[in-house]
């Protein structure tokens, strides 16, 4: 079958960075950093990226590029008929599964962009933002329609293929995201009281660092870099033989971390400006859709136009970040179904979009008409969210590192990362050591921690 490749190295980097930079950078990283020791957390986070994020990312790149196949095909080719082929299939499933709820949130970002643009938050009392969000998500129609629009846009891009779809749009959207980030950072830093926000984010407080904080850094690094499933492996299957794998991975990690830190520069100065204590705010949807719209309104209440502009740009930023990640999730499943079942891209994309539509609607409606359907005390949306974040991703990451460290042929590995001997690879031994021992152990501990295995130590 004739496969497309990315047309340029820059396109490859921006597409992979688009997958990595997502909601996790904006609504999880800043809060985790602020609450877990500021710069101390950032240093630990960067160490996690170097010792475990990069080795796994390079391995996922390698597996994709070596086989030039979708993720299920890639592991099948490399596993010689052994059960390791299931790791690839699980990666495909994970991507598709995450997309079902991730696209629902993508729809929310569009709705909040629209509300900001139409100045719907002006004059709303601080206590009302929670109710506005609850009413919105409980509505049987509005969030579902935004979700359909979001997945429709993702579909439109993916159906156009690798170069004129993913690459072209990444080349437009990633610079846009970058410029908006810088604009918002600049604006937020010029607010009175901004220094307190920067101090909260950056002041190192090593006394807060304990094993839980380290595990939080591992989990965040992992989620933020889109590791543990098929995204990066699938994108790398469109890399050409000259793409330097380790360098590309490093660029992606730097872009991802930069945007995450900048998100902190956007959020905290405005929070401190209105006297809100970030320690009392949780990460996630509550931060993005309840606390922040209020923060932006109040911090910029002196200039209504600036408040509209700031808030609109912020939610548009979230939308773009979510869209480029959703594209990568969709592509994992689309590449799988088109290649494994010999379908046209059009048909393959349609099937994936159709299935995501059905399950995504269930997720979307689970805050309203379907809120009665609960399992383990969670609604459908949270089941998707927690099952992927707490089970599928860590399990996938652990299996990928074991596969790459113990099962992949060493010569093949070295040959691939050196591009057939063209590049020097002084880090090779350290990389393999991490894949064999450090990564599986660290991810295993995160996994156990998330299941509550260490709760008895925390009192």
Q: Within 13 Å of residue 415, how many CA atoms lie on the same side as its CB?
A: 9
First to last CA, the chain: 58
Q: What is d(CA 51, CA 35) in angstroms, rounded to the nearest whole number? A: 23
CB of 254 to ligand PFF, least distance (A): 15
Residues of span 30-69 touching ligand PFF by CB under 6 A? none
Residues of span 310-339 touching ligand PFF by CB under 6 A? 325, 329
181 near ligand PFF, judged by CB under 6 A:
no
CB of 432 to ligand PFF, least distance (A): 24
281 close to 249: Cβ distance less than 8 angstroms: no
Query: Is 285 exposed, middle or buried, given 0-12, 13-18 or 19+ CB atoms closer than 10 A?
Result: middle
CB of 174 to ligand PFF, least distance (A): 13
149 close to 361: Cβ distance less than 8 angstroms: no
Between 229 and 417, whose beta carbon lies closer to ligand PFF? 229
The one among 44, 54, 231, 404 contacting ligand PFF by CB under 6 A: 231
The one among 44, 98, 157, 295 contacting ligand PFF by CB under 6 A: 98
Q: What is d(CA 258, CA 92) in angstroms, rounded to the nearest whole number? A: 28
Between 35 and 224, whose beta carbon lies closer to ligand PFF? 224
CB of 120 to ligand PFF, least distance (A): 26
Instruction: Provide the β-strand partners of residue 378.
Output: 375
CB of 263 to ligand PFF, least distance (A): 11
The one among 51, 224, 273, 311 contacting ligand PFF by CB under 6 A: 224
Q: For residue 191, how far is the Cα from the chain centroid? A: 29
The one among 11, 18, 24, 368 contacting ligand PFF by CB under 6 A: 24
CB of 226 to ligand PFF, least distance (A): 4
223 near ligand PFF, judged by CB under 6 A:
yes
Q: What is d(CA 226, CA 219) in angstroms, rounded to the nearest whole number? A: 11
How many chain residues touch ligand PFF (CB under 6 A)?
Answer: 14
229 near ligand PFF, judged by CB under 6 A:
yes
Question: Mind giving me the DSSP string for 418-443?
Answer: TTTTTS--TTHHHHHHIIIIIHHHHH
Closest to 394 in 3D by CA, of 221, 224, 228: 228
Between 98 and 435, whose beta carbon lies closer to ligand PFF? 98
Q: Which helix (H) or strand (E) holds 49?
A: none
109 near ligand PFF, judged by CB under 6 A:
no
Binding interface with ligand PFF (CB under 6 A): 19-20, 22-25, 98, 223-224, 226, 229, 231, 325, 329
């Amino acid at each position: 079958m004739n496969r497309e490749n990315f047309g340029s190295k820059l396109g490859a980097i921006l597409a992979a960075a688009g997958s990595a930079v997502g909601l996790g950078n904006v609504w999880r990283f800043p809060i985790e950093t602020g609450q877990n020791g500021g710069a101390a957390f950032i240093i630990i986070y960067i160490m996690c990226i170097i010792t475990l994020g990069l080795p796994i990312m390079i391995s996922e790149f390698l597996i994709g590029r070596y086989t030039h196949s979708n993720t299920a095909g890639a592991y099948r080719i490399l596993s010689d008929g052994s059960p390791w082929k299931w790791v690839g299939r699980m990666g495909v499933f994970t991507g598709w599964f995450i997309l079902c709820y991730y696209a629902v949130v993508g729809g929310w970002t569009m709705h909040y962009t629209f509300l900001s643009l139409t100045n719907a938050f002006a004059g709303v009392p601080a206590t009302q933002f929670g109710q506005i969000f609850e009413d919105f998500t409980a509505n049987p129609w509005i969030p579902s329609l935004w979700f359909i629009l979001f997945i429709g846009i993702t579909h439109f891009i993916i159906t156009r293929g690798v170069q004129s779809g993913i690459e072209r749009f990444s080349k437009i959207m990633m610079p846009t995201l970058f410029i908006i980030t810088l604009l918002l950072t600049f604006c937020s830093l010029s607010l009175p009281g901004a220094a307190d926000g920067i101090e909260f984010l950056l002041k190192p407080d090593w006394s807060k660092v304990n094993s839980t904080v380290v595990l939080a850094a591992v989990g965040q690094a992992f989620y933020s870099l889109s590791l543990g499933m098929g995204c990066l492996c699938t994108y790398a299957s469109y890399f050409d033989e000259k793409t330097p794998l380790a360098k590309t991975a490093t660029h992606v990690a730097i872009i991802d971390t930069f945007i995450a830190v900048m998100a902190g520069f956007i959020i905290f100065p405005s929070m401190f400006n209105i006297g809100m204590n970030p320690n009392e705010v949780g990460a996630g949807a509550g931060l993005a859709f309840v606390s922040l719209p209020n923060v932006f309104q109040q911090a910029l209440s002196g200039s209504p136009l600036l408040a509209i502009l700031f808030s609109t740009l912020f939610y548009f930023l979230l939308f773009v970040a979510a869209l480029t990640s959703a594209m990568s999730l969709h592509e994992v499943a689309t590449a799988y179904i088109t290649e494994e079942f010999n379908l046209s891209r059009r048909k393959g994309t349609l099937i994936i979009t159709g299935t995501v539509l059905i399950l995504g609607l269930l997720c979307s409606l689970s805050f309203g008409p379907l809120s009665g359907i609960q399992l383990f005390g969670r609604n459908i949306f949270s089941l998707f969210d927690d099952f992927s974040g707490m089970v599928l991703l860590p399990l996938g990451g652990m299996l990928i590192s074991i596969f790459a460290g113990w099962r992949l042929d060493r010569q093949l590995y070295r040959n691939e990362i050196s591009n057939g001997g063209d590049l020097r690879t002084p880090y090779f031994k350290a990389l393999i050591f991490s894949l064999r021992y450090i990564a599986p152990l660290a991810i295993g501990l995160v996994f156990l921690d998330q299941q509550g295995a260490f709760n008895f130590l925390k009192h």
